[in-house]
Amino acid sequence: MQKQGFKTILLMMTAVIALVALVAGCTIGGGGDSSSGGGGTAPTTEAAPVAKVTSSPADGAVDVSPTAQVTLTVADGTLENVALTNADGTLVTGALNPAGTVFTVGEPLGYGATYTWSGTALGTDKKQVPVTGSFTTVTPASRTSVNTNIGDGQVVGVAAPIILKFDDAIVDKAAVEKALTVTTNPPTAGAWAWLPDDGGSRIHWRPQNYWVPGTTVKVDAKLYGVNYGGGQYGDSDVTIDFSIGAAQIVKADATSHRMQVVRDGQTVMDIPVSYGEGNEDRNVTRSGIHVVSEKYEDFMMSNPPYYTNVRERWATRISNNGEFIHANPATTGVQGSSNVTNGCINLSTEDAQTYFQMAVYGDPVEVTGTRIDLSAADGDIYDWAIDWATWQTMSAL
């Protein structure tokens, strides 16, 4: 019995060893030679999100113009909850396009400020990508302001130029001029011209010929953010809407000793006057197209050595060289027959008041018959003394 049991055990052990060998043989046969390294399965790597976000200006950009186009764009996805904020956390106005792929900022930014993006982009693979990045706008060395000669809603005469006067000298005049637009109804031929600096640069726009009465005019000066050169930038935009009144023209022939006011082709005044005596250049009333620029019911006039601080009534300024149309009772006796003034056009008190009340900024005063022409030496509005071909060459563009 004992021997038989031993044989049984031995047979069972032999069978187990054979089974182990068979299993081992299957493993080797399926995976190839173990020494080749191909026996295991490589670990899997998750695919990267497909959404790609780009910004303009680029992340980290500096000295960005506050009026530059600012956008955030995603490829292979859509933008979600996108926002641009300044350092105080204030949201900047913007809008997402219908496709949800481009966010565009809709307002000018501030000078010297840092702006930061936030939000997410959802890719076509349904994976989210965070929106990050920032940029900084330029800090000007100085900010230059501008003043205008015409107010919003004002009605002006047919010779009125549009004047923009800057409080500093402008280096890059072309950059400024590109930011200026004049829109008229009916369409009006005209051009910008840079006149000599007068405590700051100045640019004038005038029509080729007198304005058509009733014309409406819109001036858009998109100057905020414009680089003027030399570290100067535009301080603010300027917009003016105004209109042109009647064609009221003063005809002032010094040889006739009279003055006519012609409104829309009809003579409404024809009065005796006295012009400059002309014994010295300083006393010559300048020939040329003057422009009514100011009115004073009372004005203290001086013209040394002839007189100082003399009170004159109903004074209408027609140039910055001291020429006025005004009342002067002292010359009433020679008005209509002789020219005896120091360059102004003298009227009786009654006539001066009547003209004063009808005079409008921008009305032309056409002086003829004297030996000296109006020029740049006579003040800030001598635009019509410049012929049209020359005027066009005075543009920076």
- 36-93 pLDDT per residue, tens: 444 556 666 788 999 999 999 999 999 999 999 999 999 999 999 999 999 999 999 9
Examine the pLDDT at 150 and tell me if it is beyond 60. yes
What is the pLDDT, as a whole number, of residue 257?
98
Cα four-point dihedral sign 279, 285, 336, 326 = negative
| Catalytic member of 26, 257, 290, 344 | 344
Percent of the chain residues topping a pLDDT of 70: 89
- 352-390 pLDDT per residue, tens: 999 999 999 999 999 999 999 999 999 889 999 999 999
**Sole residue written with tokens 């910004």:** 55
Across 139-150, b (16+ Cβ under 10 Å) vs e yields ebeeebebebbb
| Catalytic member of 26, 257, 290, 326 | 326
Examine the pLDDT at 241 and tell me if it is beyond 90. yes
Examine the pLDDT at 20 and tell me if it is beyond 80. no
- Cα-based torsion angle of the residue sequence 46, 48, 51, 53 in order, rounded to the nearest 10 degrees: 150
Q: Are 212 and 188 in contact (CB under 8 A)?
A: yes
Q: How far apart are CA 109 and CA 105, in angstroms?
A: 9
What is the pLDDT, as a whole number, of residue 31?
40
Examine the pLDDT at 11 and tell me if it is beyond 60. no
What is the pLDDT, as a whole number, of residue 42?
61
Q: Looking at residues 150-157, what average pLDDT do you find?
A: 98
What is the pLDDT, as a whole number, of residue 52?
97
Mean pLDDT in the chain? 91
- Cα-based torsion angle of the residue sequence 247, 253, 256, 261 in order, rounded to the nearest 10 degrees: 20
- 124-143 pLDDT per residue, tens: 999 999 999 999 999 999 99
257 is catalytic: no
- Segment (H or E) for 105: strand 102-105
DSSP state of 124: T
DSSP state of 281: G
Examine the pLDDT at 229 and tell me if it is beyond 50. yes
What is the pLDDT, as a whole number, of residue 33?
43
Q: Which two tokens stand for residue 75?
A: 């490829």
What is the pLDDT, as a whole number, of residue 348?
98
What is the pLDDT, as a whole number, of residue 70?
98
Q: How many helices (H) and strands (E) does the chain have?
A: 4, 28
Examine the pLDDT at 24 and tell me if it is beyond 50. no
Q: Are 160 and 247 in contact (CB under 8 A)?
A: no
> Phi then psi for 65, rounded to 5 degrees?
-65, 135
What is the pLDDT, as a whole number, of residue 153?
98
Which is more confidently placed, 384 or 1? Answer: 384
26 is catalytic: no
Q: Looking at residues 231-256, what average pLDDT do you find?
A: 98
For residue 322, the SS3 value is coil
What is the pLDDT, as a whole number, of residue 39?
52
Examine the pLDDT at 188 and tell me if it is beyond 50. yes
- 275-320 pLDDT per residue, tens: 999 999 999 999 999 999 999 999 999 878 878 888 999 999 999 9
Tally the residues of the chain.
397
Beta strand segments in 324-363, E: 324-327, 345-347
Q: Which two tokens stand for residue 150?
A: 């015409």
